[in-house]
Every structure is written in structure tokens, then in C-alpha cells.
Amino acid sequence: MDLSTKKLFILDRDGVINFDSPDFIKSEDEWLPIPGSLEAISLLNDAGKIVAVATNQSGIARGLFSEDTLDAMHRKMVIMAHEVGGHIDLMVHCPHGPNDNCACRKPKPGLVSGLCQHFSIEPEDAVLVGDSLRDLQAATSAGIDSVLVKTGKGEQTLADNDITQPVFANLLAVASATVPKH
């Protein structure tokens, strides 16, 4: 897979852009970016890539936080990304719980396919960056390539599964591999 030819980068949020917590990220105060991740988004923007975020947020279905709170977190993310010159073209989330049988919750392909369609991007021109098996599975079901990052649950995912996808240290490493240095 040649990352530099990809046009659409679909990023998982928790564990890829920000530090993850087993107890969910429930508030904007708990939302802390992984160093370099926002810069990575900016690098991808500068290379003309479309950057989208697709994230499972079952905490909404579980009543741990509201759509409004999620939006406050995303505003924080947008502002912090702006500060390093980055922007996210679209953020989509699945608000459902594991037993709601929705079509969007990863490993289902709904969110990922929806983004490809929305941006009129052929599956071969998109790539997903995730830290968990279900991210990679969602990508595979949607027919797009994916890469694993070791941040978040990445190390664990790598240890527990037979990962055939390329593995990177973090999102910044993915961006650096995509955008050759001058």
C-alpha cells in the first residue's frame, strides 16, 4: 500500500488523536491530544489530503455523556488543531451501544463507507488509521486499506491479534510516511 497516493484519511479518535481511557472520554477536560497527532493532521492537510474522523461513542447510548458534551470535546479538538494549522474536514460518530444493532458502529462499515461516499472517494483511495481490531475490521468490511498505530490500544491489539496491516508508532509517523520530507 502506498500511503502517499491516498486521498482520504479516516482517523479513529480515541487512542489515535487523543489519549484513550478505559472509562471513556466523558468530558472535554479529559480530552488530551497525543503529542504530534494534531501536527500530523496539519501535515496531511498540507499535502491536500481529506482528513475525517470516524469514532464509536457508545458513551452516548450508555448515558455517560450527551451529544452536546461530545460536541464540546470536538470543538476543543478543532480549536487545538487550528492552533497548529490543521483542520478536520468532517467528524462523524456512532452514538449507539454494542447491542443496538446499528449499521454504523465499528467493526460495521457504515461510518467508513458513508465518509467515502460523501467525499466521492473510491475505496482504493481511502485509508483508515486505527488502534483497535474493530477499526481495522471496519475498514476491511468497507473495502478500504487500514494501518494500525501503537498508541492507545494499539500495542495490545498488536499483541493479541495477527495483524497483517502496516504498523506505525503513532499518527505522526503515519503522516510522515505519507508526506515525504523535503
Tell me which residues are annotated as active site: 12, 14
33-38: list long-range contacts, CB under 8 Å, 24+ apart.
33/77, 33/80, 34/151, 34/152, 34/170, 34/171, 36/170, 36/171, 36/172, 37/151, 37/170, 37/171, 37/172, 38/80, 38/81, 38/83, 38/84, 38/86
Q: Which residue, 99 or 164, has its beta carbon nearer to another protein?
A: 99
User: Is residue 55 helix, strand or coil?
Assistant: strand
Distance CA 108, CA 99 (A): 13
Distance CA 91, CA 162 (A): 29
Q: Which residue, 36 or 110, has its beta carbon nearer to another protein?
A: 110
Question: What is the nearest approach in angstroms of another protein to the Cβ of residue 86?
Answer: 15
Question: What is the nearest approach in angstroms of another protein to the Cβ of residue 32?
Answer: 13
Q: Omega before 109 cis (within 30°)? A: no
Residues forming contacts to another protein in the complex (CB under 8 A) are 23-24, 26-30, 50, 61-69, 71-72, 75, 79, 89-90, 92, 97-99, 114, 117-120
Distance CA 128, CA 130 (A): 6
Question: What is the nearest approach in angstroms of another protein to the Cβ of residue 100?
Answer: 10
Q: Which residue, 93 or 168, has its beta carbon nearer to another protein?
A: 93
Question: What is the nearest approach in angstroms of another protein to the Cβ of residue 120?
Answer: 5
Q: Which residue, 3 or 91, has its beta carbon nearer to another protein?
A: 91
Characterize the bridge pairing of strands 167-168 and 145-149: parallel
